[in-house]
Structure 1
Amino acid sequence: MSKETNNDRRYRDRAFEDVDSNHGWYVCKKCGRHFRKGDMDIDHIIPQKYGGNNTRGNLQCICKHCNRSKGASLSDTVPDLVSRRIELAKRDLGK
């Protein structure tokens, strides 16, 4: 396995640890539908193409369809970043 693949797996695993699931079901942040983990993607809110990184504040869990539809679009970046920051702050306060 290449180094890039190992890094890819680590950030995805860490991102899923930051997302609440209901007995293995996850909610897409974009469409609100429920999916199993295998049908979810970890999306870069600021796309890597534009310098987005793998930090937890830049990653969100969305379904594969929504992620493919979003592509490298920046149209929802600000609201998604705000929403993610609030979500992580609530999660961190609850620990």
Structure 2
Amino acid sequence: MPPRIEFDKKTRGIAFQRCAGNCENCGMRLKVGEAEYDHIIPYYFTQDSSLSNCQVLCVPCHRGEGAKTADDQHDISKSKRIWLKHNGAWPKSKAPIRGGGFRKTRDV
């Protein structure tokens, strides 16, 4: 898995100015240094740490209970498995392949 790249200082500064010091999710007033910068589309999928993929959130919105849904976790886990299989790091199944065999006749 590629390493996660965080936003650089310039991108964080412009994003903080863009949000005018408010959380972009709930609108809570943020102090300098208390904001957290989040990838809108996870970095794992896009490898994009640009301003267009950055959102400024308060701590409860970023780390809170509703931060990641079950669907997000499912999609992230599935994409990791696909990536590992593609790169040969996922173990092959040890179970025998079961098949129904071929039909005896050509009649449908």
TM-score range, shorter chain: 0.5 to 0.7
Question: What RMSD, in angstroms, separates the aligned Cα atoms of the two structures?
Answer: 3.0
Length-normalised TM-score, structure 1: 0.53
2:81 match: none
Ranges in structure 1 where 5+ consecutive residues have no aligned partner: 75-95
**C-alpha deviation, 1:63, in angstroms:** 0.9
TM-score normalized by the length of structure 2: 0.47
Q: CA deviation at 1:16?
A: 2.6
1:56 pairs with 51, 54, 79, which one? 51
Runs of 4+ in 1 over 3 A off after TM superposition: 71-74
1:20 aligns with 17
Q: Which runs of 5+ in 2 are unaligned?
A: 74-108
Counterpart position of 2:92: none
The structure with more helix, counted as a fraction of residues: 1
Bigger Rg, which one: 2
How many residues matched? Answer: 65
Structure with more strand by fraction: 1
- Paired with 2:38 and 2:49, the residues of 1 have a C-alpha distance of 10
Task: Say whether 1:35 aligns with 2:40.
Answer: no
Amino acid at match of 1:16: R
